[in-house]
Structure 1
Amino acid sequence: MQKRSAIAFTGPSNSGKTTIIEKIARVLIRDYKIAIVKNDPKDKATFDVEGKDSWKFFQTGAEVVVTSPTRTTYFSHRQKTIDEIVRMVDDFDYLLVEGLKTLPLPRIAVFRNRIDESYFSCSEAIAIDDSIDVKDYTIPPGIDILDLNDVDQIVGWIKTHAKAV
């Protein structure tokens, strides 16, 4: 029985977080149940179309669930803690979290072109591509360096380091 595990990804805008999470999910989904949580810190994401029933329902202030034969979508007006999200999603082997760098989860920081060293304090690994020369930086001991283009290497790291939730 696979225990439920979580791993988080962080990094500057346009560093490739969404792309690597998508690639990892496509690999893991072959053998595991995967859930993904994405943080939207600037509240910019749009999910529904004005005028449609689900949009109208959400405008009332209610919690809204839209269900169909192929998916269920949940719209909430309340921010959820990671524990609440874990209970809500419930049935997964791996939870991949984009953002939410204050969560106490093992974290891979994703960088292209340059490393922002401020992420070192909240990361256990960095995933970089060949646009970065690690010799230009002082990577703290204990931070693993992963190849952003080697999905299998990153999946292996996740299987070893993900935290049971």
Structure 2
Amino acid sequence: MPAIDEHVTPTLGIAAWSGTGKTTLLTALLPRLRELGLRVAVIKHAHHSFDVDVPGKDSYRLREAGAAPVLVASRERFALMQETPGQAEPDLNQLVAMLRPQAPDLILVEGFKAWPLPKLALYREEVGEATLLDDPYIEAVALPAASTLALAGSVERLDLDNIEEIAQWVLAWQKAWSMRA
């Protein structure tokens, strides 16, 4: 899997074992990043089949009939649905490219742990092994303040329960990326 192109939208992975609180963190972090002036897009990896459409509705029926893709749009939102039977795992570079026309200031990626992209890792000792933190792309780790887990010298330690600290780190990271691109 190729690395994310560093000359495009800043893209930061949020990596953690299932149950650590990635989505919980993001739902608290996103409003704060918006207050700080960032337009943030999110790509979330799903490990299973999922459906965002409602059986019986026109868009569902059209997709089931073979439309590929189906774009449903209103004044308030749009959704693009594409069947991908037989496809391998999604290609993160393709997904990032799909978001670029929306001109976000930052793309946060939940999941895709194995992809070579800069990451903010979340860690709770009771949830998973520390082997996740061996990833050379991890730039910061958010963990409970009381944790005594040793981190590599180049990896920044953040308090998992301090959304403001995490938001300020993400903002600084995004600005640093934008300046080097």
Which stretch of the first structure deviates more once superposed, 49-58 or 76-85?
A: 76-85
Out of 83, 91, 100, the residue aligned to residue 81 of structure 1 is 91
Per the normalisation by structure 2, the TM-score is 0.76
Q: How does 1:54-133 map to 2 (within 5 A)?
A: 54-61=59-66, 62-78=68-84, 80-90=90-100, 91-114=103-126, 116-122=129-135, 123-130=138-145, 133=147
**Which string of whole-angstrom CA distances, capped at 9 and with x for unpartnered residues, describes residues 56-76 of structure 1?**
122234211110110011112
Give the letter for the 1:21 counterpart: L
Rounded to whole Å, the distance in 1 between the matches of 2:25 and 2:141 is 12
CA displacement at 1:80 relative to structure 2: 4.6
Query: Contact 1:9/1:98 (CA < 8 Å) preserved in 2?
Result: yes
Per the normalisation by structure 1, the TM-score is 0.83
CA displacement at 1:113 relative to structure 2: 4.4
Rounded to whole Å, the distance in 2 between the matches of 1:109 and 1:142 is 14
Query: Contact 2:33/2:171 (CA < 8 Å) preserved in 1?
Result: no
Provide the secondary structure at the position in 1 that maps to 2:27. Answer: helix
Unaligned 5+ segments in structure 2 are 1-7
- Residue 11 of structure 2 aligns with which residue? 6
Provide the secondary structure at the position in 2 that maps to 1:29. Answer: helix
Give the letter for the 2:151 counterpart: I
Rounded to whole Å, the distance in 1 between the matches of 2:173 and 2:38 is 16
Provide the secondary structure at the position in 2 that maps to 1:145. Answer: strand
Identity of aligned residues (%): 26
Which stretch of the first structure deviates more once superposed, 110-119 or 94-103?
A: 110-119
Rounded to whole Å, the distance in 1 between the matches of 2:112 and 2:65 is 28
Rounded to whole Å, the distance in 1 between the matches of 2:21 and 2:115 is 20
CA displacement at 1:110 relative to structure 2: 1.4
Query: Contact 2:139/2:155 (CA < 8 Å) preserved in 1?
Result: yes
